[in-house]
Amino acid sequence: GENVEQHPSTLSVQEGDSAVIKCTYSDSASNYFPWYKQELGKRPQLIIDIRSNVGEKKDQRIAVTLNKTAKHFSLHITETQPEDSAVYFCAAERAGGTSYGKLTFGQGTILTVHP
Amino acid sequence: DTAVSQTPKYLVTQMGNDKSIKCEQNLGHDTMYWYKQDSKKFLKIMFSYNNKELIINETVPNRFSPKSPDKAHLNLHINSLELGDSAVYFCASSLTWDQPQHFGDGTRLSIL
């Protein structure tokens, strides 16, 4: 089955700096890669996702890059703000096949943005 | 209105009891899921239903039984609760199984 490794487990940055979180996956057939943000005591919220037919996607201050050959994908947050502080999860899925929406999550990264 | 709503938000009960968690989505989605988030924040899928039909059943003890009376509802019944069942249980839904998943607010289950 799919295995997703996420690094780092904790990340501390100063406000205004950039933050990068990296994930690797094991199943070369995986083709859908969402990122979720979870604030303390709240639900995971989808912040950006990418499918394997593109290499990069941006939405304002956040971007995701995908390297299918190396089987890794990354989340980039620029101009970080204190409200970006949360746990971030990457996930991978073999969408459209017999995985039926089975998302495999990474272990999470605790991002702290210091004012 | 909350798109994916779960009840109750908190559930505190004793070992050996039976309890249920309810989930409803008003998004018109076909697919619904149950996830378990343990004390280390690890998220793992338990079950998935598509149009009331079970399509994912991970290696979950058979004390856990999901039920989908219609495609807008997915409930989770747990028999003979054990200490290790303490976790946050999230319901999620997606338009179809290959579309983005949206989570409910979670149910924090604590076993005494």
Place of tokens 């409910």: B104
pLDDT of residue A96: 66
Q: A63 to chain B nearest CA, in Å?
A: 17
Mean pLDDT of B12-41: 96
DSSP state of A100: T
Tokens read off for A23: 């994930």
pLDDT in tens, B35-63: 999 999 999 999 999 988 898 888 788 99
Q: Which residues of chain A have pLDDT under 50?
A: none
Q: Report whether pLDDT(B1) > 80.
A: no
Tokens read off for A75: 């989340």
Q: B82 to chain A nearest CA, in Å?
A: 23
pLDDT in tens, A81-108: 999 999 999 999 987 666 677 899 999 9
CA distance A103 to A91: 6
Neighbouring residues of A88: CB distance < 8 A, sequence distance ≥ 6: A21, A35, A36, A37, A38, A47, A75, A108, A109, A111
pLDDT in tens, B56-111: 888 788 999 999 999 999 999 999 999 999 999 999 999 988 889 999 999 999 99
Given CB atoms, is A96 within the 8 Å cutoff of chain B? yes
Select the residue of B56, B98, B105 nearest A32 (Cβ to Cβ).
B98
Given CB atoms, is A89 within the 8 Å cutoff of chain B? yes
Burial status of residue A64 (CB atoms within 10 A of its CB: 0-12, 13-18, 19 or more): buried
Torsion sign (Cα): B99, B103, B104, B110: positive
pLDDT of residue B86: 96
Given CB atoms, is A39 within the 8 Å cutoff of chain B? no
Q: B92 to chain A nearest CA, in Å?
A: 10
Interface test with A, best of B98, B102, B107 (most A CBs within 10 A): B98
